């Protein structure tokens, strides 16, 4: 998945961008290598011609990297992660779905809270700092989007969604 920005000067970090299946950058190649090493299948479904969104591509890239990284971390060897995007109403929706460990329903309302961990026994070394989802929530919110997660429960995978409003037509 690639976010491409047309070149122009602006005092704002937000730009009109396309989300598409394009050339991989260094970060996406490294991520793909990690999927191969762990034997987790990665599938990306981004249709041609998605509408333009007005975002800071680096920050939304950070959200994608965090969500895809979490999906890889919590999906066992032989599992799968998919990334999809589509246009619905006045938004582009992005979905990151995995066949991993899942999230118990009682934890879903809290997973975007700072330092919250579903598995309290995980150390910072193996489980991160507990702020990645919080940061993602704030980045998406700063773009006037929404972010949420769904999971049928433990050992049934998780799906994370976020929305980005379409750029205003000039």
- Residue owning tokens 């000067």: 9
Q: Which one has a higher pLDDT value, 144 or 168?
A: 144
Domain extent listing, the chain? 2-165
CATH 3.30.565.10 is the classification of domain 2-165? yes
pLDDT surpasses 90 at 130: no
At residue 19, the pLDDT reads 62
Are the CB atoms for 164 and 143 separated by under 8 Å? Answer: yes
pLDDT surpasses 60 at 10: no
Residue 115 banded pLDDT, cuts 50, 70, 90: confident
The residue-averaged pLDDT of 52-74 equals 93
At residue 125, the pLDDT reads 45
At residue 124, the pLDDT reads 44
Cβ contacts of 155 within 8 Å, gap of 6 or more: 101, 102
Q: Which two tokens stand for residue 18?
A: 């396309």
At residue 31, the pLDDT reads 72
CA 68 to chain centre: 5
Q: What are φ and ψ of residue 32, in 5° steps?
A: -60, -40
pTM value surpassing 0.85 = no
């Amino acid at each position: 998945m690639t976010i491409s920005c047309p070149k122009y000067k602006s005092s704002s970090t937000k730009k009109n961008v396309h989300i598409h299946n394009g050339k991989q950058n260094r970060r996406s190649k490294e991520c793909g290598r990690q999927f191969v090493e762990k034997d987790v299948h990665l599938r990306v479904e981004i249709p041609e011609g998605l509408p333009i969104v007005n975002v800071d591509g680096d920050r939304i890239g950070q959200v994608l990297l965090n969500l895809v990284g979490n999906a890889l971390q919590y999906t066992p060897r032989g599992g799968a992660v998919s990334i999809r995007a589509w246009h619905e109403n006045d938004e582009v929706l992005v979905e990151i779905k995995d066949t991993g460990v899942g999230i118990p329903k009682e934890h879903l309302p809290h997973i975007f809270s700072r330092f919250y961990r579903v598995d309290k026994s995980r150390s910072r070394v193996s489980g991160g700092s507990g702020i990645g989802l919080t940061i993602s929530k704030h980045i998406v919110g700063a773009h006037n989007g929404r972010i949420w997660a769904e999971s049928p429960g433990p050992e049934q995978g998780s799906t994370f969604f976020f929305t980005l409003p379409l750029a205003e037509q000039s």
